[in-house]
A and B are shown apart, each in its own frame.
Chain A
Amino acid sequence: MTGRLRLAGQVAAVAIVAALLGLLAWKLTQDESAVTSQLDKGGSPTAPAFTLERLDGKGDLGLESLRGKAVVLNFWASWCGPCKDETPLLQQGWKRWRGKDVVFVGVDVKDFRGDAKDFLARYGVTYSNVYDGKGSTVGRYGVTGFPETYFVDADGKVRYRIAGPVEDAADLDAGIERALAPA
């Protein structure tokens, strides 16, 4: 009886250690698979798909539906100071690039929906914006702060990233041209 008890205890201990190791491996794999991590290694990872509520109230927007066009994917929040400086530049960029197989999509993250709508109205933003209050996209993209901009090509591959605000029009155009260039 004592021998059986000891064996059961040993099996349980090994199982718990194996489960914890599995959890650690899963977490490491998740971090490694984030877009930012793969971009840093010189890869062109597939942009993680998402379908999120549009802030203009016109239903949902799925990233998959934009295949065939280059996408400027900008992660922002209304409480983020540098986002306020960057937004007019993005709006100007959108006016310059629209109709040239390029779309701009803003992803408002960890924010109040109402604040986000006020922000877009204040800065006269006309490109598409979606709401991700829970931040479900942040981990998968590996967003390290706000704002952050990803440039996705027509095949849905991320070609370039700007961490922090887009500084000027040339910075933005360089990212878009990378997304438009043949793979």
Chain B
Amino acid sequence: MRAAALAVIALVLAAPAGASEQRPSAAELESELVCPVCETTLDTSNAPVALRMKAFIRERIAAGDTKSEIKASLVDQFGPAVLAEPPKKGFELVAWLLPLAGLALGVVVVGLLAWRWSHARGGDEPADVAEPLDPALERRLDDELARYEP
């Protein structure tokens, strides 16, 4: 029963992605592709080449091409730099892994610093608390305090 529910959830989540691949919209493709001249995504560009690429995307959608086919066709003409997101394979994979590696390194560094800071504080506190007060000084302190009691 639980497995069936999980399978239904997975299907529900996967369905939009599959539909988008088979029947992409011009808007989503324009946000995932870059104008090769102005180097912004197509949806924010009105450069002549961007307008031509937008027309090409609409033609290919009307012809029934999938999202991958349209992207592959544009990469063939203009090169991989036309993709807003680098492909998750080969050397381009570095662009995905490097920020994650940086984040992991940052977490480790912050963790180490926090550990050192808390360790140092933890080590000092017992020494402060355990320091015994000189009996003469304690007696004097009690006398002084007694003077202020009503």
- Structural contact, A135 and B36, CB atoms closer than 8 A: yes
Give Cα A135–Cα B35 distance, bound, in whole angstroms: 12
CB distance from A52 to the nearest CB of B (A): 13
State whether the Cβ of A39 lies closer than 8 Å to any Cβ in chain B.
Answer: no
Q: Is the CB of A111 within 8 A of B49?
A: yes
Contacting B at CB under 8 A, from A113-138, are 113, 115, 133-135
| Chain A residues in 8 Å Cβ range of B77 | 111-113, 133
The answer to whether the Cβ of B16 comes within 8 Å of any Cβ in the partner chain is no
CB-CB under 8 A for A110 and B36, given A133-B78, A134-B78: yes
Nearest residue, chain B, Cβ from A79: B48
Q: Is A62 an interface residue (CB 8 A)?
A: no
Residue in chain B with minimal CB distance to A135: B36
CB distance from B45 to the nearest CB of A (A): 12
User: B78 — which chain A residues lie within 8 A by C-beta?
Assistant: 110, 133-135
Is A22's beta carbon under 8 Å from chain B?
A: no
Instruction: List the A side residues contacting B48 at CB < 8 Å.
Output: 79-81
For the complex, count residues of A whose C-beta is within 8 A of B.
Answer: 15
Give the docked Cα–Cα distance between A68 and B79 (Å): 33
Q: Which residues of A contact B116 (CB under 8 A)?
A: 2
CB 8 Å contact bits of B36-71 with A (1 = contact, 0 = none): 110000000000110110001000000000000000
Q: Is A73 an interface residue (CB 8 A)?
A: no
| Majority secondary structure, B binding face | helix
A-B Cβ contacts below 8 A, count? 30
B116 to A: closest C-beta gap in Å: 8
Set of chain B residues within 8 Å of A9, measured between Cβ atoms = 109
Q: How far is the CA of A25 from the CA of B121 in the complex (A)?
A: 45
A77 at the binding interface (Cβ < 8 Å): yes
**Cβ of B81 under 8 Å from chain A:** yes
Q: Which residue of B lies closest to A77 (CB)?
A: B49
State in angstroms the CA–CA spacing of A133 and B49 once bound together: 12
Contacts of A80 in B (CB 8 A): 48
The interface centre, meaning the residue of B51, B52, B56, B77 with most chain A CB atoms within 10 A of its CB, is B77
Question: Which of B51, B52, B81 neighbours the largest number of chain A CB atoms within 10 Å of its CB?
Answer: B52
Query: CB within 8 Å of A: which of B65-109?
Result: 77-79, 81, 109
User: In the bound complex, what is the Cα–Cα distance between A112 and B51 (angstroms)?
Assistant: 12
Give 18 CB contacts A-B under 8 Å.
Answer: A2-B116, A5-B112, A77-B49, A79-B48, A79-B51, A79-B52, A110-B36, A110-B49, A111-B49, A111-B77, A112-B56, A112-B77, A113-B77, A115-B52, A133-B77, A134-B79, A135-B78, A135-B79
Residues of A within 8 A of B (CB): 2, 5, 9, 77, 79-81, 110-113, 115, 133-135
For the complex of A and B, the 10 pairs showing the least CB-CB separation, nearest first, are A134-B79, A79-B48, A110-B36, A133-B77, A79-B49, A79-B52, A133-B78, A112-B77, A110-B37, A110-B49
